[in-house]
Amino acid sequence: ALRESLVDLIGEANLSGDHRMRLTDGKPDARELAAVVADLAQRQPDVIYLAVGSRAGGEVMSALKTAGVTPAIFISGRIDALPPAVAMSYPSPLYQISWDNLPELYNGRLRKLAVLAPSNPWIFEGRKNARAPGWAKGECQERAETRGMRDPFEAANMRAIATGARYADMMALIADVLRTADRSADIETLRAAAVSRITSAYAAGRGAFRGTFENWSFDPTTRTATRTPFIIILPRGLGRLQLAPIQFRRARDGTFRRVETLYMDIDLVKAHRVDDNEKAYFAEFYLSLHANPTIDIGEIEFANAYIDPRTHGRQLTIEPLHGGASDRIYPASMKVYKVVGRFLFEPRLETFPFDTQSFSIEVQPRRSDAAFIVQPPPVSLRDARVITESWTPMVHYVGYDEDFVPVVDSFTHEASVAPFYKASFVWQMRRETTDYFLRVVVPLGFILGIAYLSIFIPMARFDSIVAIQVTALLSAVALYISLPKLDSDTATLSDRIFVFDYMMVSLMIAITVLRINPFVASRRWLVSVLEFMHVAVVPALVVVAAYYAYGMSIAAQ
């Protein structure tokens, strides 16, 4: 099938050859390999498509290099599965196809979902199968012990997550298309309804199912998913994988159109004036682009830039620093800009003030005829230093997402979708809590302490005891009212701390009142129970609540 497709695409005359080799235990036959290399040395192809597996691939590449036949090679598997010494020393570029797990890029939707849950549940590791070839031959090794939490975003685990994510989206898709189906129908009827709905509403170019992890469209004829792969390259001498300069995107008619890879980085210098109610923050950063004749800063849309309600324009200032010409200061191949603006973010305030928020700068194509996908530099080469106000930078990553614009022709009623890629440069920062401790936790501690100490005043001074406790309750209420109001749809951890304080002080007031009640006072055992609750249970509840708040703060990090 591959040969026929290539012949249809480039013609029989442009196909140098089609060679097959026998593999024994993953190793190519020596004579056949020598014959193939000799034939390729005579034909001198421009590119070789190699589909022999990672183990045999290393031997084939070594033989080609020894014979001086070193064209670009397209690998059928993963480049990082080849022997590193062979891959890094090969003098020409290596290519591969990848459906996900892009170099230096994360699935934006998956990353957002993962940060909402503890890290450990996102670690997927199957049981050891001693009969598997890798274990049986001694090629696999036990994982080294690691302290603390493992990184759920390491390459091997991300491949496992991607596999599970596809099944999750499949289940969501079936549930969506059969939502209105007759529940009493048989399997064949439901299957026919699902196929009909999927191949019509979600046909390639006409619709897309927005899954939790990615978008899905289907070929109406073959009923298969029309996913678009990415082309990965290992450039000569670079030593790191990255997106190839040219990518492709499926057009509405089913053909592929060219998409440029924009080699780009954003160096965040300062993030300040964070407003949780406005859901916005100010950012100053440097944006650097590898010079591209077709894409400039004018073709980049800052998707989450704040729109001023008065001017209806984005609050952005872009200052060119270097235009890409020869210069002794900046690299000649780079365009550099300084950008200052206000950007939106999505605060999650359930654990406020011990929360960690994601501050992003989202970029996407301004026009469909200037589409691109972003390739950032490696994490180790990015500047991690950020000036912030009351925030501590924790993690920086770049996520990508595939979005689309749904369009319906009002005249023909024909539906279509216009897909595009967007990238998010994300900085996860933890809120500093020193100010909150000084303004809230310490005063509340004193309020609770004073209310608690009042119970040791003799009951003959009942009025004084209740006055102190009521004053403590009113002080806690006044402190809450004096704090800046957060516009949150859910109760924050701070709100729960205050509610707990109200409950504790109210409980102490109730116990004090009950202790002088004639019915209770006449029963010594009941008075003893109330005294025990006052002296021991109340502080125990405070300790439990403090431990809960501490656990929430740790989980938020």
Side chain identity, residue 69? V
Q: Count the alpha carbons within 13 Å of 319 in the hemisphere toward its beta carbon.
A: 8
What's the CA gap between 551 and 184, in Å, rounded?
A: 47
More confidently predicted of 53 and 147: 53
Homologous superfamily (CATH) for 257-431: Neurotransmitter-gated ion-channel ligand-binding domain (2.70.170.10)
pLDDT at 136: 78
What's the CA gap between 468 and 477, in Å, rounded?
A: 14
Helix or strand (DSSP H, E) at 332: none
**CB of 100 within 8 A of CB of 162?**
yes
What's the CA gap between 511 and 464, in Å, rounded?
A: 15
pLDDT confidence bin for 555, thresholds 50/70/90? low
* Largest CA-CA distance found in the chain, in angstroms, rounded: 110
Domain boundaries, the chain: 2-98, 106-136+150-216, 257-431, 434-556
List CB contacts of 517: < 8 A, sequence separation 6 or more: none
More confidently predicted of 186 and 55: 186
Tokens of 232: 């990965």
pLDDT at 119: 55
- Inform me whether the pLDDT recorded for 150 exceeds 80: no
**CB of 362 within 8 A of CB of 341?**
no
370-403 per-position pLDDT tens digit: 899 999 999 989 998 999 989 999 999 999 999 8
The residue whose two tokens read 């200032």 is 317
- Inform me whether the pLDDT recorded for 553 exceeds 90: no
Tokens of 412: 């023909």
pLDDT confidence bin for 276, thresholds 50/70/90? very high
- Inform me whether the pLDDT recorded for 145 exceeds 70: no
pLDDT at 135: 79
The pLDDT mean for the chain works out to: 89
pTM metric for this prediction: 0.87
pLDDT confidence bin for 35, thresholds 50/70/90? very high
CATH code reported for the domain at 2-98? 3.40.50
What's the CA gap between 163 and 223, in Å, rounded?
A: 20
CATH 1.20.58.390 fits 434-556, yes or no: yes
Q: What angle do CA 505, 511, 517 make, to 5 degrees?
A: 140
User: DSSP character for 65?
Assistant: H
What's the CA gap between 398 and 424, in Å, rounded?
A: 6
Range with lowest mean pLDDT among 137-151, 344-358, 360-374: 137-151
Are β-strands 72-75 and 94-98 bridged in parallel, bridged antiparallel, or unpaired? parallel
- Inform me whether the pLDDT recorded for 147 exceeds 60: no
In the chain, % of residues over pLDDT 70: 97
pLDDT confidence bin for 118, thresholds 50/70/90? low
Q: What angle do CA 246, 250, 255 make, to 5 degrees?
A: 100
- Inform me whether the pLDDT recorded for 557 exceeds 70: no
Range with lowest mean pLDDT among 101-115, 132-146, 271-285: 132-146
Are β-strands 391-408 and 106-107 bridged in parallel, bridged antiparallel, or unpaired? parallel
